[in-house]
Structure 1
């Protein structure tokens, strides 16, 4: 099998009630991770490294945050393929409501056309809420040697990572059966539904893995990156993890700033105390502010003397002078996008 005999279909439609406040206008795949990455960077990096030239993104809603991050796919090398690239299919949730009104006859049309035009023998299908640096070349080799219809990927704890490799004819067969049985679901759900009737090979992914089912999972997966062994297991595996290139100035730390065991992206200014926390781009922490066990996303400002612990601050949050934001290890406090915490205001769980 030639190196690029695989196309990839990424289903970005997974949802979580616990993550709803973070994912109202972005899919789980677009959530920031480890200060400078997005969750979608991991499957995109895996398929790029394996020589995949065509990738389809099936998005639940409008997908604006995904478009802004992925663009032409140049960061992963997809813009250089003459007959390939990244193809986006948004408003999948609308298709369900439309199908209830006019029927589902064309439900799988975009998927079928994408695979046909990719001219490949195999299809890699993945959900969007798993953080793992999977070596797709190894998966492909093991799949061929197994002789099975489907290869399903698990982690070392035998958790299903919602990632599959199967032949193009087998996928068409499943789609035909689904239409006959009036089963209209996302492609990853389709594979799970029919896999019990097929021969399935189990591939065990060795290395750091996180599954983002809820807010606690998201918080702890980020915090795991402060553990050097887990960080190396994820980012220093056989595949490089690539993200969108951004130009930025180095972060600035005053002489009296204190930073302990934290990940801090570019364009930040730190004048206060940051401990066991992750700061995305353009975050400013003023003098005498204390930030601990916290994730702060892009463009937030933490006022002088503010105190924040066990919290997640979404983009653009403004925290006033002397404000207090306190969650607990078992109940992480989420401050939603562009919220303003007034001077000396307190937010606690």
Structure 2
């Protein structure tokens, strides 16, 4: 493919509350066995993008561990491959990434040393499948300077996103980032196509003016000077950067049509594989409309829930409408409802947690072997 990829995975979101205390948003577990960044990486490899950079910063340890081997997404190759860039102190610069444009600027040498004519920029917190080739063909056909992938906002708050308005030729006439009041339901998905040389020029100019944000300081600022077009999609797309949207996205995978789209239809979604045995259901256990990942041992009752890898559910436990992240131990007679249980937690026997006014995040700060 005539494009290289950049995945922006360094951001943090206070709207994730305790869930972002120990991991980047792009490393959030999704659908039992995946991480959020897997969807962007899988779309890159399925579109035959052979050279991809992941820009990480905030709480990047678990994300870097996940990306340690690039073979899972077929990036173990002699030419191109997967590059992970974190902020680096140099003789000229000692800043952390101050924004998305600054993150690209600090790694501009990688862009300048590349030869592909186009760049696909994606966010690490989106859940979707996409053929970037179709977006690139559209970009070339429109002779666009920038193409922004957009979608109709159905169930979420449009003011969380960049809100767009297009004319009949799909050229973007209005673009506002996270407006207080939204007059349109058309939102940016955080996926962009731009010519590599133009990106270098715009990012360098942005840095000279001490501006650091890709959307506000480049795309919105130049919307009347550059030919910026929208590419509208109607397939599944979700952003997980708030607790509510993260919960809803995982619950969407309990729907047969969503599971079929991601897990059964070509092309697939790839992730790092852990050597864990299949889930074990002991006598007396009951599971209804739930996703149970590998390595789990189930003794209690589970309904309308997503249980991630290596979770132990004790006797007489009841889990309803909840998400239990990786490596959690649930003691006997525990009741969990409308909750997200943080990974590596030990929930003591006879505990009761219920999210009555929204989603409750359960974080037990204890040591597994001290109980």
Is TM-score (shorter-chain normalized) higher than 0.5?
Answer: yes
Gaps of 5+ in 1: 101-105, 342-349
- Cα distance in structure 2, aligned partners of 1:340 and 1:311: 21
Q: Would the aligned equivalents of 2:14 and 2:20 in 1 still touch at CA under 8 Å?
A: no
Q: Hey, what does 1:192 align to over in structure 2? A: 219
- Cα distance in structure 1, aligned partners of 2:319 and 2:148: 41
Q: Hey, what does 1:24 align to over in structure 2? A: 21
Q: Hey, what does 1:149 align to over in structure 2? A: 145
The DSSP-based 3-state class of the residue aligned with 1:78 is coil
Q: Would the aligned equivalents of 1:59 and 1:92 in 2 still touch at CA under 8 Å?
A: no
- Counterparts in 2 of 1:174 and 1:75: CA distance versus 1, 3 Å: same
- Counterparts in 2 of 1:337 and 1:11: CA distance versus 1, 3 Å: farther
- Cα distance in structure 2, aligned partners of 1:253 and 1:295: 18
Aligned pairs for 1:151-170 (under 5 A) are 151-157=147-153, 158-170=186-198
Q: Hey, what does 2:362 align to over in structure 1? A: 335
The DSSP-based 3-state class of the residue aligned with 1:172 is helix
Please provide the CA RMSD for this pair. 2.5
Matched, 1:212 2:212: no
Aligned pairs for 1:40-189 (under 5 A) are 40-61=37-58, 63-80=60-77, 82-91=78-87, 98-99=94-95, 109-157=105-153, 158-185=186-213, 187=214
The DSSP-based 3-state class of the residue aligned with 1:18 is helix
- Cα distance in structure 1, aligned partners of 2:330 and 2:134: 45
After TM superposition, the score normalised by the length of structure 1 is 0.87
Deviation at 1:190, TM superposition (A): 5.1
Q: Would the aligned equivalents of 2:37 and 2:124 in 1 still touch at CA under 8 Å?
A: yes
Q: Would the aligned equivalents of 1:11 and 1:188 in 2 still touch at CA under 8 Å?
A: no
User: How many residue pairs align between the two structures?
Assistant: 329
Q: Would the aligned equivalents of 2:24 and 2:59 in 1 still touch at CA under 8 Å?
A: no
Q: Deviations over 1:127-163 (max 9, x none)?
A: 2222111211211111111111111001243221111
The DSSP-based 3-state class of the residue aligned with 2:257 is helix
After TM superposition, the score normalised by the length of structure 2 is 0.82
Q: Deviations over 1:86-131 (max 9, x none)?
A: 212224899xx9449xxxxx97554321112331100011122221
Q: Would the aligned equivalents of 1:174 and 1:194 in 2 still touch at CA under 8 Å?
A: no
